[in-house]
Amino acid sequence: MSKQYNKLIKRRRRAAYLARRKKALTETTPKKVAAKAKPVKKAKKSVPKKPAAKEETTSAAAEVKSSDVATTEDVLGPDTGAPEAAKTEGAPASEAE
């Protein structure tokens, strides 16, 4: 048990030494001369922000908007008559029989 108590004593001595050292350092260092008072900055009044001016839509943006309402003919192109080609292919097959 005496070893633990010795540690306690060492800790107290160390703390007291550090406190004395800190006090001596603060006394020896010259105190800073008070700096000149800085002029007080004027508080800016809050000004409401103006809404950003809307830019005109570009052609790319216009294309995107038009594609939202695009029809199947706009996307796939005009009907090429694919069903007619199927009928013509089926007819020669029946003739060959």
pLDDT in tens, the chain (97 residues): 689 999 999 999 999 999 999 999 999 887 776 667 777 777 777 777 787 777 666 666 666 665 567 677 777 777 776 565 555 555 555 555 4
CB atoms within 10 A of CB 42: 6
The SS3 of residue 59 is helix
- Pick the closest to residue 91 from 26, 83, 51 (CA basis): 83
pLDDT of residue 16: 97
Whether residue 7 lies inside any domain: the answer is yes
pLDDT of residue 92: 56
65 membership: H or E segment, kind and range: helix 59-68
Distances (CA, A) of 24 to 10, 36, 79: 21, 28, 98
Does the pTM surpass 0.85? The reply is no
Whether residue 22 lies inside any domain: the answer is yes
Please check whether residue 57 is in contact with residue 65, taking contact to mean a CB–CB distance below 8 angstroms: yes
Whether residue 45 lies inside any domain: the answer is no
Using CA atoms, how far apart are residues 9 and 14, in angstroms rounded to an integer? 9
pLDDT of residue 18: 97
Using CA atoms, how far apart are residues 25 and 14, in angstroms rounded to an integer? 16
pLDDT of residue 30: 76
Whether residue 36 lies inside any domain: the answer is no
Could you list the residue range(s) of the whole structural domain that residue 5 is in?
1-28
Total domains in the chain come to 1
Whether residue 3 lies inside any domain: the answer is yes
